[in-house]
Homo-oligomer: A and B are copies of this chain.
Amino acid sequence: MGIHERKEREKEQRREEILQAATKVFFEKGLQVATMDEIADAAELSKGTLYLYYKSKEDLYLGVMSIGIDILYDMFLKATERTASTLETLRSFSRAFVEFFRTHRDYYRMFHFFQNPQLHKQVSDEMKEYCRTNNQKLWDLATKILQRGVDEGLLRKDLAPIEMAFLVWSTSNSIMMQIDFQEMHWRNHIGLDLDHMLEKANELLLETLLTEDARAKLERPTVA
């Protein structure tokens, strides 16, 4: 009586195959230019079948994006798992985000669509909820580390951990967006090295978030 289970597995596998095909096509063309027929071709299925597994093109897009969230989560987790000082963990976190941005640009790009509900025309409530939950894991993880920093007296107390998480994320994110969208414009027309700006901004922000004590120690690491 394992037939039912096998069918379930096969269905799951089909869903996965569709996701793989969609990943390939979306990475190459983006949401707007990619067509469902193309994805169907890549999956060696008919278009109708795609709709048995995903409710809309946008749902499928977010399905692919969710893999990106998983990857980022894993990278964050690894950054926290290395036993090190909290300060070093904070830096690892920051670096992990930049690393994700550099090595998984395709996924990073997809986050914009998720972030901007103005662009959602056909996203199902289920998919929205799924993404929200998945995304929440990231924030919980980040907040936990920052809370540790506050408890240890490393980070200032007048900002809640979630506020710091938001600041760190939004600072990095806005610069990464510009790198992704307009790097050449900034470099050639304005003469601005955005990669440098990204590092600098993270550095400045971390300093800003540190308590005065921690900042003093940072400047003179081994107190005489």
Chain A residues near B (Cβ < 8 Å): 30, 32-33, 109, 112, 115-119, 121, 132, 136, 139, 159-160, 162-163, 166-167, 170-171, 173-175, 177-178, 181-182, 185-186, 189-192, 197, 200-201, 204, 207-208
| Cross-chain contact B182 with A163 (CB below 8 angstroms) | no
Residue from the list B116, B118, B160, B173 in contact with A174, Cβ < 8 A: B173
What DSSP secondary structure best describes chain A's contact surface? helix
Q: Report 15 cross-chain contacts, Cβ distance below 8 Å, ordered by A residue.
A: A33-B121, A112-B118, A115-B181, A116-B177, A116-B181, A117-B182, A132-B185, A132-B189, A163-B197, A166-B178, A166-B186, A166-B192, A167-B201, A170-B175, A173-B174
When A and B form their complex, which 6 residue pairs have the shortest distance between CB atoms, in order from nearest? A174-B174, A170-B174, A204-B208, A116-B181, A208-B208, A30-B118
Total copies of the chain:
2
Residue of B nearest to A121 (CB): B32
Residue from A170, A181, A190, A207 having most chain B Cβ neighbours under 10 A: A170
Contact A197 B119, CB 8 Å, known A190-B162, A192-B162: no
Contact A109 B118, CB 8 Å, known A170-B175, A178-B170, A197-B167: yes
Kindly list chain B residues whose C-beta atoms are within 8 Å of the C-beta of A121: 32-33
Residue of B nearest to A170 (CB): B174
| Cross-chain contact B33 with A197 (CB below 8 angstroms) | no
Residue of B nearest to A191 (CB): B162
